[in-house]
Structure 1
Amino acid sequence: MKLTKFAHACVRLEKDGKVLLIDPGVFSESAAFEQADAVLITHEHPDHVDAERLKRLQAPIFTTAGVAAGLDDERVTVVADGQSFEAAGFTVRAYGKDHAVILPELGVPCENIGLLIEDAVYHPGDSFTQPDREVHTNLVPISGPWFSLPSAVEYARSVKAQQTVGIHNALLSDVGLGMMQRWIGEAGGRPYHGLTPGQSIELS
């Protein structure tokens, strides 16, 4: 399986000629939208879902009730915590229900699901919700209004993964990106890939 990172939180997976697109938001490059056999969306914030560009795709979309209401599209299937389903030949399982808290007085901003694909790649959306099993590649958010470095390091340590990949990083400078190599990789205790947009890795 091939994993390609795009800007911010957007990731594309390819297997057996099929393409699965995850969290294509307003920061995502046009190339991310060029081909998709199915789309997964963790939550309704625009950095994770670009409704206008999604309209140009013919692919089915799997997401939360909040995103589905905003898209109002017959292609959308609502999924929730604990559900397993198939999307373009990929097996997927959803985890959790809450977006991380940004400010205590605002409470939980919206519903958020983590997504485990092929029991191999885990995308938590905007949360540190953990899957209930070991994974090959754990996608670790490394910036954002809700981000906390201690929580991110603990998440990287706790999820039993062979490797980690930094995501949710549009707010970081080159200095910040370099720091995450140390903190999420070395302190997190897992091999870390700081992929640049468009860069791919093969998952064996």
Structure 2
Amino acid sequence: MKLTKYKHACVRLSKDGKDLLVDPGIWAEDEAFEGIDAILVTHEHFDHLDADRVRALDVPIWTNAGVAAELSKDGAELGDRVTVVSGGESFEAAGFQISAYGNDHAIILPELGVPCQNVGYLIEDAVYHPGDSFTKPDREVHTNLVPISGPWFSLPNAIDYVREVGAKQTIGIHDALLSEIGLTMGERWIGTQGNKPYVALKPAESVEIN
């Protein structure tokens, strides 16, 4: 299986001639959307969901109720293209086996409470995308996509999360707000946990997941 990282939190997974797109936000490159077979969206924030481009694609979408409502705004007719899922459910999308985890976005400020729903996805029991959360999967993970910036982000919490998941390798995501200097934070702090490889991918770079 090949994983290609695009801007911010958008990744594309390719296997057996099928392509699955996860969290295509407004900063994702157009090429990320080309020829895809299915979409997963963790939550409704614009940096994870470009609603206009997603609506324009005639492909099935798996997501939570909040995103489904966002996609249906202004009378948009998506028919049966959208399937609502919650943490604890498993399903198949374009030939990929998916397990969903959690239901809440990480808290930004305590007085604001949970901002919205958020579902993380474990794909092929190998690649885990948590969206905007540090929700942990309940099984071994080969590749953990770890957020490394954002208004809800905390470095100590991220390090605890990486240690507890214990993946064979980590890849930094959720990084569009960082400068080149800031991007080294992921490699310096997160990449030194547990003596496991940290893969710092630039947009459109790929890695094979074996």
> Which secondary structure state, in structure 2, belongs to the residue aligned with residue 128 of structure 1?
coil
- Write the letter of the residue equivalent to 1:19: D
Q: Which stretch shows the higher mean deviation, 77-86 or 173-182?
A: 173-182
Q: Is the 8 Å Cα contact of residues 140 and 165 (structure 1) preserved in structure 2?
A: yes
| 1:101 aligned counterpart, secondary structure | coil
Name the counterpart of 1:66.
66
RMSD of the alignment, in Å?
A: 0.9
Cα drift, residue 80 of structure 1:
0.2
SS of structure 1 residue aligned to 2:14: strand
Q: Does 1:5 align with 2:5?
A: yes
What are the within-5 Å matches in structure 2 for residues 1-204 of structure 1?
1-72=1-72, 73-74=78-79, 75-187=81-193, 189-204=195-210
CA contact (8 A) 1:82 1:95 kept: yes
Q: Please give the TM-score of this superposition, normalised by the length of structure 2.
A: 0.95
Identity %: 68
Which consecutive unaligned segments of at least 5 residues does structure 1 have?
Answer: none
Distance (whole Å) between structure 2 residues aligned to residue 130 and residue 101 of structure 1:
16
Distance 2:195 2:64 in 1: 32
- What is the number of equivalent residue pairs in this alignment? 204
SS in 2 for 1:55: helix
Aligned-partner SS, 1:153: helix
1:149-185 deviation line (CA, Å, top 9, x unaligned): 0000111111031100000000100111012101010
Unaligned 5+ residue runs, structure 2?
73-77
The Cα of 1:188 is off from its aligned counterpart by: 5.5
* Partner Cα distance (2:125, 2:19) in 1: 17
TM-score, normalised by the number of residues in structure 1: 0.98
Structure 1 Cα separation of the partners of residues 193 and 128 of structure 2 = 20
